[in-house]
């Protein structure tokens, strides 16, 4: 029996003949939950399910799939079902070497962009299932695909704010591909690794102060105090200077506000897409006023890219929060993980 312990956006319920997959948070503020009956193929011909109860009745294991977010790809790869993926929108953003090989072999087809997925190509591919990523229920392309008889399932991994909650969505894919035991094992290993590093960080005697984000035009965007990114900093036993701010999304602040509060921050992480101090200073001379800039304590994930320029952090970090936490603990408390080799975050050049 696979249980969901951290994720708030989906649940799995094992019944005698099928698994009920519920997606409660496909997008922020969703007023509808989606119910999917996952039925073993051998039982499908003889099983009668009540009409109008389920948003989709899905034969499992799924044989062909289209996914729509790079965050879905690590789950397919680690479950050993990447060969079932036959289409993806915006393949240029995919970083996984195994997936890139399949793209180059034209085994994964380019389907346009997620906002306006090429419905004609998707219909021509005829995947058994399309796993959708959506910001609301207004995606007309998904409705068109659904009306053509292709099953559309919503995945809301991106709405989770807990690092382990995001990672637990591997169980969503485990259920679709009849790999529940494998998904459970993989997640348990990630959870154990994360909790071990978090416990180690909690023993550090100091909690350095941390600044994040950077200016876009005249607005400094940084994670809200209840966000996924802020949780990592807290779990690494560092003090995010905006930890008491409300909201799970981004804060929009002025340069003056950030200077006033964050000028003396010990560390500065995730400075937007910048990868060098020269880029930062060229973009805005005021950046050099920050202590973290002066002392060369700025770290970025923007330099860790796949072969076609996709940022690995956006693809893999949701499934491997333990690697993110190890990076941050190594940065904030160098004595605790001295042998760790930085994976996502790299020192600004």
Q: What is the pLDDT of residue 28?
A: 86
Comparing CA positions, the residue from 137, 127, 140 lying closest to residue 176 is: 127
CA distance 66 to 131: 6
Class of the CATH-defined domain 10-189: alpha beta
Comparing CA positions, the residue from 301, 210, 305, 306 lying closest to residue 258 is: 210
Identical topology for domains 10-189 and 203-347: yes
Q: What is the mean pLDDT of each run of 10 residues along the chain (349 residues)?
A: 91 94 92 95 89 94 97 98 97 96 97 85 96 85 93 95 97 98 97 98 97 96 96 98 94 97 98 96 97 98 95 97 98 96 97
pTM to 2 decimal places? 0.95
Sign of CA dihedral 62, 66, 72, 73: positive
Residues in a beta bridge with 130: 66, 152
Q: What is the pLDDT of residue 48?
A: 86
Q: What is the pLDDT of residue 137?
A: 78
36 alpha-carbon distance from chain centroid: 22
Structure tokens at 311: 């940022």
Instruction: Say which CATH topology domain 203-347 has.
Output: Rossmann fold (3.40.50)
Domain ranges of the chain: 10-189, 203-347
Q: What is the pLDDT of residue 304?
A: 96
CB 319 within 8 Å of CB 70: no
DSSP 50-61: -TTS-SEEEEES
Q: What are phi and psi of 48, to 5 degrees?
A: -110, 120
Q: What is the pLDDT of residue 193?
A: 98
Q: What is the pLDDT of residue 328?
A: 98
Comparing CA positions, the residue from 156, 167, 159 lying closest to residue 6 is: 167
Place of tokens 């990114």: 229
Q: What is the pLDDT of residue 29?
A: 86
């Amino acid at each position: 029996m696979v249980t969901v312990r951290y994720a708030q956006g989906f649940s799995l319920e094992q019944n005698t003949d099928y698994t009920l997959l519920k997606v409660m948070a496909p997008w922020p503020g969703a007023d509808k939950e989606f119910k999917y009956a996952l039925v073993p193929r051998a039982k499908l011909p003889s099983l009668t399910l009540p009409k109008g109860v389920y948003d989709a009745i899905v034969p499992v294991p799924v044989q062909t799939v289209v996914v729509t977010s790079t965050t879905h790809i690590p789950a397919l790869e680690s479950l050993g079902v990447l060969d079932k993926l036959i289409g993806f929108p915006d393949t240029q953003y995919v970083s996984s070497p195994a997936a890139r090989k399949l793209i180059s072999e034209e085994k994964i087809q380019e389907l346009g962009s997620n906002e306006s997925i090429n419905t004609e190509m998707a219909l021509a591919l005829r995947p058994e299932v399309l796993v959708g990523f959506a910001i609301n229920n207004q995606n007309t392309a998904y409705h068109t695909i659904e009306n053509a008889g292709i099953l559309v399932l919503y995945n809301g991994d991106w709405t989770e704010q807990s690092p382990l909650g995001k990672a637990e969505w591997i169980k969503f894919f485990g259920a679709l591909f009849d790999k529940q035991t494998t998904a459970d094992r993989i997640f348990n290993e990630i959870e154990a690794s994360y909790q071990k590093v978090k416990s180690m960080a909690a023993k550090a005697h100091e909690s350095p102060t941390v600044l994040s984000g950077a200016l876009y035009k005249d607005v400094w965007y940084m994670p809200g105090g209840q966000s996924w990114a802020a949780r990592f900093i807290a779990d690494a036993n560092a003090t995010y200077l905006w930890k008491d701010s409300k909201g799970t999304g981004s804060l929009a602040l002025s340069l003056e506000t950030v200077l006033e509060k964050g000028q003396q921050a010990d560390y500065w992480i995730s400075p937007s897409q910048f990868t060098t101090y020269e880029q930062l200073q060229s973009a805005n001379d005021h950046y050099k006023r920050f202590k973290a800039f002066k002392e060369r304590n700025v770290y970025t994930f923007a330099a860790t890219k796949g072969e076609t320029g996709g940022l690995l952090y956006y693809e893999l970090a949701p499934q491997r929060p333990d690697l993110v936490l190890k990076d941050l603990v190594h940065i904030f408390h160098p004595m605790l993980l001295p042998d760790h080799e930085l994976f996502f975050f790299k020192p600004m050049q």
